[in-house]
Structure 1
Amino acid sequence: MRASNHLIGALNFLTFLLSIPILGGGIWLSSRASTTDCLRFLQWPLIVIGISIMVVSLAGFAGACYRNTFLMRLYLVVMFVVIAVLIGFIIFAYVVTDKGSGRALLNRAYLDYYLQDYSGWLEERVASNAYWPKISACVRDSKVCGRMGRSINSVPETPQMFYLRTLSPIQSGCCKPPTECGYIYQNETVWNIGSGAMAANPDCSRWSNDQEMLCYGCDSCKAGVLASLKKSWRKVSVINIIVMIILVIVYIIAYTAFRNNRKMDNDEPYGEARMTKAQPSRINI
């Protein structure tokens, strides 16, 4: 029995450690929200799941140390719910980030982003009039476009140098006009109208050299935010899948150890049923 309790205690300590990367992923998304993604509601499910696993693991650890059956039952029930919620969150994260990616360009290292390439719950939430003004203001306040400036030996980079840069989705979608508009490069965030006709893309007329406006009102900026979110969520989801698999294995072992404890509490030898025949059979075959 003591060995079984030690096993359950060790497993709960392991699940406590596993909650740290989940909570860390939520905190990382929170830090991303304050700098680029600017969607603060997205990190809370991970933070809540991470804290829940921590609390439940401590309850299971205490139940194992003090042989408290109530705490152990509570641990198993709540941990099952937490695992189910974590699985649901992983599926949700992949579903809402399934569509959309940047488009490759001729003679450009960076990608262009188009809102029509995205759809679903996340796209509707980002592009909605209720959320986008706050998101765009957050992107502007993060100064991500202002930090794009680069010079070599005090000489600003040339257009050819800029075209070979790998820009983040936010930088490409919000800090420059779409390539198809035909704007002429002056510097990273200043572009002049070309001599040819601009494309029918509405973002072509939305671009402004005003550093407070740029393309923050463009659909390409919304698409850049969505692409950045997709990248962040996929990174966190990989960690969550690994943690979820380990949690399921730990839960199965803990449940088996708990059942073993109950059998021994009932004076039932391990591996044998409590019910036996009152008398041996007289029939021999």
Structure 2
Amino acid sequence: MFRLSNNLVGVLNFLTFLLSIPILGGGIWLAHRASSTDCEKFLQGPLIAIGAFLMAVSLAGLVGACCRSTLLLWVYLCVMFLLIVLLFCFTVFAFVVTNKGAGEAVSGRGYKEYRLGDYSNWLQKRVETGKSWDRIRTCLVDNKVCSKLQEDNRNQTFDQFFKDHLSPLQSGCCKPPSECGFVYQSATEWNKPAAGFTSNSTDCTTWQNDPSILCYDCQSCKAGILANIKNDWKKVAVINIIFLVFLVVVYSVGCCAFRNNREDNAYPRWKGNP
């Protein structure tokens, strides 16, 4: 009769194996979609990698615990230990790099505006490179971030729009910065001031009313992306702490199962007690 630790490791890894199936399947499905966008293609690689990794690790743990394979369980525990170390390092790193940066309140506006220089240098470098930003920009266009803003605010007046609580992406990418002094026409249509720009910001000259351009190449748009990343990473870091505790518990149970396997291999139970 299997010991409790072996049963627990087996059940937990069976559930992980079931979870890996839709993740791996989703990545493969995206890879074979004829109409996949560049944004979806960017997601398919990580999905396939995560799904395959979870499936391989869960199978090693499942077979190692249930079939009393000491070698497989040892491999499983090594991978789990590395995962715990990496997850701990990533959680600390996430708190460090997202410590800087926050939206600035604008007088009389319901939304905040974002500046790229307010964020950590490491995060800035992630969006400043051409290839990286081109991929992010494509995702913004594919997801119709600004088109939805235009649809939702089609009949708004000047005062109504400025009282809206825009998301960091909408504030940074779909309208020009307030400091430029553009004249409001609609949520995504702004006219250049007749007296000229009131700021030397490059975003003022980058803005265009073309729906495919708008402020997608502005520094404020990149800052809006980083604001989103910061908020998401903060949430992920909290979840990681909970998951880290869970992994430590599973790792401890796995160590007990490994010890059981070694005892079973050293003293086969079918021989009975002397």
TM-score bucket of the superposed structures, by smaller chain: 0.7 to 0.9
Describe the shift of the 1:251–1:49 C-alpha distance in structure 2 as closer, same or farther (beyond 3 A): farther
Deviations 1:200-244 (A, max 9, x none): 222122222232321122111111121122223333333332222
Distance 2:45 2:60 in 1: 22
Residue of structure 1 in register with 2:167 after alignment? 168
Distance 2:65 2:152 in 1: 62
Q: Report whether the alignment pairs 1:114 with 2:96.
A: no
Three-state SS of the structure 1 residue aligned to 2:112 is coil
After TM superposition, the score normalised by the length of structure 2 is 0.78
Task: Please say if residues 113 and 220 of structure 1, whose CA atoms lie closer than 8 Å, have aligned partners that are also in contact.
Answer: yes
Task: Please say if residues 183 and 191 of structure 1, whose CA atoms lie closer than 8 Å, have aligned partners that are also in contact.
Answer: yes
Task: Please say if residues 53 and 79 of structure 1, whose CA atoms lie closer than 8 Å, have aligned partners that are also in contact.
Answer: no
Cα drift, residue 262 of structure 1: 2.3
Bigger Rg, structure 1 or 2: 1
After TM superposition, the score normalised by the length of structure 1 is 0.75
Residue segments in structure 2 that go unaligned for 5+ positions in a row: 31-35, 269-274
Task: Please say if residues 69 and 261 of structure 2, whose CA atoms lie closer than 8 Å, have aligned partners that are also in contact.
Answer: no
Describe the shift of the 1:61–1:238 C-alpha distance in structure 2 as closer, same or farther (beyond 3 A): same
Distance 1:18 1:249 in 2: 19
Cα drift, residue 145 of structure 1: 1.1
Query: What RMSD, in angstroms, separates the aligned Cα atoms of the two structures?
Result: 3.5
> Which deviates the most, 247-256 or 139-148?
139-148
Distance 1:160 1:113 in 2: 21
Cα drift, residue 176 of structure 1: 0.4
Read off the aligned partner of 1:166 and give its amino acid letter: H
Task: Choose between structure 1 and 2: higher helix proportion.
Answer: 2
Three-state SS of the structure 2 residue aligned to 1:185 is strand
Residue of structure 2 in register with 1:263 after alignment? 263
Cα drift, residue 247 of structure 1: 0.9
Three-state SS of the structure 2 residue aligned to 1:67 is coil
Residue segments in structure 1 that go unaligned for 5+ positions in a row: 269-285
Distance 2:12 2:132 in 1: 42
Task: Please say if residues 49 and 82 of structure 1, whose CA atoms lie closer than 8 Å, have aligned partners that are also in contact.
Answer: no
Residue of structure 2 in register with 1:221 after alignment? 221
Task: Please say if residues 168 and 225 of structure 2, whose CA atoms lie closer than 8 Å, have aligned partners that are also in contact.
Answer: yes
